Every structure is written in C-alpha cells, then in structure tokens.
Amino acid sequence: MTAALAAEPAAPLLEVEHLHTYIPTVGGVVKAVDDVSVAVGRGEALGIVGESGSGKSVLARSIMGLLPPKVVRSGSVQFDGRELLTLPTAQREELWGRRISMIFQDPSRSLNPVVKVERQLTEGMRKHLGVSRSEARTRAVRLLNEVGVPDPERRLGNYPGQMSGGMRQRVMIAVALSCEPDLLIADEPTTALDVTIQRQILDLLERLRQTHGMSLLLISHDLGVVAGRTDRVAVMYAGQVVEAGATKAVFGSPRHRYTERLLQATPSLTAARHSRLEVIAGGLPSAMDPPEGCRFAPRCTQADGECTQPGQRWRDTGSSGAEHRHACEHPASTPAPALRGVSTDGR
Amino acid sequence: MPRFAMTRLLRGVLVVLMVTFLVVLLMSLAPGSVAAVILGENATPEAIAQLESEMGLDRSVIVQWFSWVGDAVTGDLGTSPVTFQDVSTAIWERLPVTIEIALLALLISLAVSIPLATIAARRPDTAADRGINGLTSVFLSIPAFVAAPVLVYLLAVQTPIFPVTGWTPISEGLGENLRTAFLPALCVALIEIAAFQRILRADLGTTLREDYVEAARAKGMSGRYVLWRHAFRPSSFSLLTVAGISLGRLIGGTIIVEAFFSLPGLGQMVAGAINGRDIITVQGVVAFVAIVYVLLNTLVDVGYGMLDPRVRQAVAR
C-alpha cells in the first residue's frame, strides 16, 4: 500500500457527514444508516467492514443515491465539492458510471442475462463519453483485455450466461472502469466468488486503482479482504461507524470492543487445532428501535451504565501519527491481540 | 429454421391429430345421428341407416378418423348437411373478418396495456399505479355484452364516429373497413387490456428489483432506458404467453361481439352450426381452431427463444 495517508489532501474526494438513511417499512422505520461520517481521499482506498445487516450496503447506495424514492436520507454527502443528497436525478445519472462507479456482490445477477456483453459494456461509454458505436467497441475490447478477459472480441458477442463467475466479475469491473471514474464503490466484490478467483479479482482491482489513480470504497464483511488492500478502514455496527482510522492502526490495535471481538472471531491458521472459534454472543439489535448509547453494549462483556448514555462519544487515539478514532467507553487498551491469520501489511 | 422450432412444430402436428381424433369421437358419441338431423323427424330408420352408410358413419371411429384426416389434409373438411356449404370454403370466407377483429383487438390491447404497465411499474404504489390498477379492474369486470352497447352508445350514437353495426370488407376500402372493425375490436380488447396490463406490471415490478437493473442504473442509464432496454424483454414472457392464448381464443371467434355487431365471422358460424346441430361444420371449425392454437403456441415458444438466449441454449443442447 502506498503512503497515501501521509499526504492526505485538504478536501477529500468524498466526504460523508452525519448521514442518516431511514427506510420506511410496514413494520416501522429501519434506521439502516444512522449518523455515519466517513471520507475518502483522492487515490485512497477506504474499507468498510461489519457483519451482515450492519448497514454497509445501504451506506454505499446512499452515497450513490441509488435507493427507492421512499427512502429518506439526511446529512451531507459531498463529492468533489458537490452535495449529492439534493442532486436531481438527471444530474446524478451524469455522475453515475462517469465519475462514481459501482460493482456489486454477485456478478451472475448484476449482468443482464438477456443482453450481450457488448451492449452492457458500451452503453455507459456511449452515453457519458458520446463515442460512436465502433469507438465504444474498440474501447470495450481494450477494457476486457485490461481486466484479463481472454479473447475479448468473441466475449463481446456472449451473453453473461456463457461466462464463468470470475469472468463476469471481470466484465463488471470493465463496465465500472469504462468511463474512468474518480471513485469506485465495490460492494462485496468477491463474496460470491471462489477463493482463488477472489484473490485474482482483488489484485486486479488494486492494480487498476493504482494505474487509473482511482479512489476506492471497498465494502466487505471479510476483514482479510479489507486488511491488505485499503489505506483506511471504518468498522460499522448496527448502522453506525464505531471505529475508524488507518487500516494498520485499527486492525493492529483495535480499541472498540466490537472491533476487538470481530477480529477475534476471524478463523486463524495459527490458533491451536480444534480450538473453538470465538463468536460474539447475541445478534444485531433492532434497526427500528436501536439501544441508546453504544449499540454493541447489549452484547458487550465490558458494558456498564456509561455505555448506555445517549449518543456516540468519539475519542482520538492516533498515537503514532496514524489516524485512529473510536466510540468506545471502555476501549481495549492492550495494543495488539490483533488480526490473527490476516496480515495487515499488504498481502 | 432453428432445430428447436422444428421439434415444436412436430409436437404441434401430434396435438392437432389428437384433437381431430377427439372431435371425431365427440361426433360419434353425441346423442342422435347426423343422418337423422339431415333427414328430419319423419325419416324412416331404413332411410337414416342408408344415409349413415353413405356418409360412412357406420364405420368404426378409427376408420372415420382416418377418412376424415385423409380428407382434411387435402383441405376438405366435408360439406355441411344443413347449409350444404363446403365447410373449408365457409371457414375461408369468414376467416378474414375474424382474423382482422382478432389482430386489431390484440394490437389495441398491446398498444394500451404496455404503456399503462410501464407507467405503473416505474411508479410502484403511487397514485398513478393505483389509478391504472383501478381502471383495469373496471375493464376486467365489464362483460362484452355490456361493453358493446355502451361503446356503441358513446361512440356510434352520441358521437357518430363509428357505425353502429355491420361490416365493410377491406376490398371496399381500408378506412371504411377499419371503421366497422374498430368498435368490435375495442369491445374484446377491454378485457385483454386489463389482463395484459396486470401481467406485465407484475413481471416488470419483479424485474425492476433485479440486481442487473440496479447495476444498469449505477452506470448512469436513465430509468426509461433501463426499463425499455434492460427490463422489458425479460419481463415479457408471461405477456407473450397470454397474448398468444388470447389471439388463439379470438380467432376461435367472439360469438357475443360478432352477434352484437352482426359481423360475418367464425363465431357466428359456430353459433349457428351448434344451434342447427350441424356437427360437420362444428368439427371443421374446431379442428381449424386447434391448428391455429398449435401454430400460435409454436410461435410463442419460438418467441421465448428470441427473448432469452438461455432458452435457445437449453434447447440447442
């Protein structure tokens, strides 16, 4: 990973502040994202981790504005100095795919099964870049080459059903990169893929990010995916960020009790054989009526009365110069039980 | 022709053969004898037996079927014992009327239901969606014998745009012909509009929640583009199926509407034949309609393949 941290520019490319995303349902209002602030610098990779249902994917869609009309968002999402929350649809569509791209979890579902690869890959370029059909086709071949799809000329005539999962995700990445966006949002990009393919796709994403100078928002429940490939990370729990900072600092010496438990729950090769995998007892709190104060408190062994005081109280612990903040009343003090089995230094 | 179209066609031929066999069986099982109907109430049993033998009705069902199929493949569906008209000729004479009404009704149904369905699907649970749903509920619950007089009153009597009844063949001018065809077609289209709109709206609603629709939106493609260029095709399977069945049914004749507008179509012909116990005519029309159904279903199957490459591949394998 490069030293993007040290030279963080004054204005980040993406700045999310106090974002709330409330989804009305028949049972009540789901507070899917509840007061989240994160930022992604130019050329930087930010990881968002958390278990299923923690609001990671809704956060990604809230940033994009890719949500049903009944969903209510408040707060602020600044992208390159523009407020996205209030941007009219037509102008959002100008950004989507052009300056902010997104890739999705399941490549077999995010490509249209009845549309040939060629159109799915070229329609964005034709709209955003105004290129001709043949020019778009030439670019498409080049893109497929770049993302490692063999025999691109022939693949353009394929339907997604004629390709493997890994190939489809490469096509999705080619689609996302086709208009040279500034920011790529990858929502669980490798979760649906074989482990061997996961590695290839992540390597590909990283290489492309560096050659294209893109910023990356990488969302994953898999700490290993985020650990080696992001500059900074935010840990989400029950719709909120509970700890954030430089990836090495957060995973190297987690302070929030949730992060600590999450890291302990990661399977490890170095642990003794047949040792029980750590689990976090209990489940996510209700997203309609979350507990006051720290939302992890009901499952936390360290929780006391202070933890249930309303609101999050952030603390800066960026000791060694690295950015690191958390919202834990009783933070883990010992630096480094750390991420077992997952290295933090690149691979 | 693609191979899967061939297999569908062969299957279709089998179905037609089976339907015609059932029709012959039906004729032999029906109470009373055709010969008795022809000769009238005062005929002697000997005369009836003789006519039955002349008509070949004393043979076994299988033999009759072979004989009927043998004639039918040459286009000879027999002669009506009531009107003394050749059944094939009668069908061909009336067919243009029925086909025109059926096609026009289908066209109107699609032209109205597709925009309504897309408008509703793009705005789920809004006033527009619910309003369109209510409108089609009304269409669905109006029977043709109510729709026909109401439409005639509104569009032919109050504002005389269309003639009240009657039929002008295409040969006497397309404009006049369409004027006489429009109201009957609209009458039968009402229910189809409702059915088509609901089916397409439901399927579009499902498709629009697919990940690939979200992915296409994330590329910056407009909602309208995504609906037509990504969602419409995978959403139109049920519509294609139902439209095929509807067209088959409409070509079978729309008895009430034809009767109301005094159109010389197949429906009137069948209704008359049933009343007159003219089984040979009924049989001919039933066989003809079965063939039309099979052909349309084959076309629908071919259509699936055109809509979805996965169907083509599955069949090719």
If you write DSSP's letter for every residue of A286-298 in order, what string do you get? PSSSPPSS-TTGG
Q: What is the DSSP string of B150-195?
A: HHHIIIIIIS-SS-SS----GGG-HHHHHHHHHHHHHHHHHHHHHH
Percent residues over pLDDT 70 in chain A: 91
pLDDT of residue B317: 57
pLDDT of residue A8: 46
Instruction: Give A347 or A159, the one with higher predicted confidence.
Output: A159
List, as ranges, residues 185-224 from B with C-beta within 8 Å of A. 210-223
SS (H, E, C) B261-285: CCCCCHHHHHHHHHHCCCHHHHHHH
Task: Please list the ranges in chain B whose pLDDT falls under 70.
Answer: 1-2, 4-5, 32, 315-317
pLDDT of residue A73: 95
Neighbouring CB atoms inside 10 A of A270's CB total: 6
pLDDT of residue A119: 97
Give the residue from chain A lying closest to B304, CA to CA: A114
pLDDT in tens, A172-207: 999 999 999 999 999 999 888 888 888 888 999 999
- Write the residue in B214, B219, B234 that is nearest to A123 by C-beta: B219
pLDDT of residue B98: 92
What is the distance in angstroms between the Cα of A157 and the nearest Cα belonging to chain B? 12
CA-atom Rg of chain B in angstroms: 24
pLDDT in tens, A34-76: 999 999 999 999 999 998 889 999 999 999 999 988 899 999 9
pTM for the whole thing? 0.84
Distance CA B285, CA B290 (A): 8
Tokens for B44, please give them: 């002697």
Residues B310, A89: C-beta atoms closer than 8 Å: no
Band (A267; pLDDT cuts 50, 70, 90): confident
Residues B223, A112: C-beta atoms closer than 8 Å: no
Residues A109, B211: C-beta atoms closer than 8 Å: yes
pLDDT of residue A192: 83
Judge whether A85 and A74 are in contact, CB under 8 Å: yes
What is the distance in angstroms between the Cα of A196 and the nearest Cα belonging to chain B? 24
- Write the residue in A112, A124, A172 that is nearest to B220 by C-beta: A124
Residues B219, A96: C-beta atoms closer than 8 Å: yes
Give the residue from chain A lying closest to B123, CA to CA: A69
Give the residue from chain B lying closest to A95, CA to CA: B220
Does residue A217 sit in helix, strand or coil?
strand
What is the distance in angstroms between the Cα of A171 and the nearest Cα belonging to chain B? 12
pLDDT of residue A7: 47
Residues B220, A175: C-beta atoms closer than 8 Å: no
Going by the DSSP 8-state scheme, the letter that residue A186 receives in this structure is E
| Long-range CB contact pairs, A23-26, < 8 A, 24+ | A23/A58, A23/A70, A23/A71, A23/A72, A24/A70, A24/A71, A24/A72
- Write the residue in B218, B221, B223 that is nearest to A102 by C-beta: B218
Q: Bridge partners of A324?
A: A245
Q: How many CB pairs under 8 A join A and B?
A: 80
Residues B220, A64: C-beta atoms closer than 8 Å: no
Distance CA B196, CA B108 (A): 11
Instruction: Give B249 or A341, the one with higher predicted confidence.
Output: B249
Band (A100; pLDDT cuts 50, 70, 90): very high
Judge whether A17 and A78 are in contact, CB under 8 Å: yes
Instruction: Give A115 or B38, the one with higher predicted confidence.
Output: A115
What is the distance in angstroms between the Cα of A109 and the nearest Cα belonging to chain B? 6
- Only one residue has tokens 């243009």, namely B96
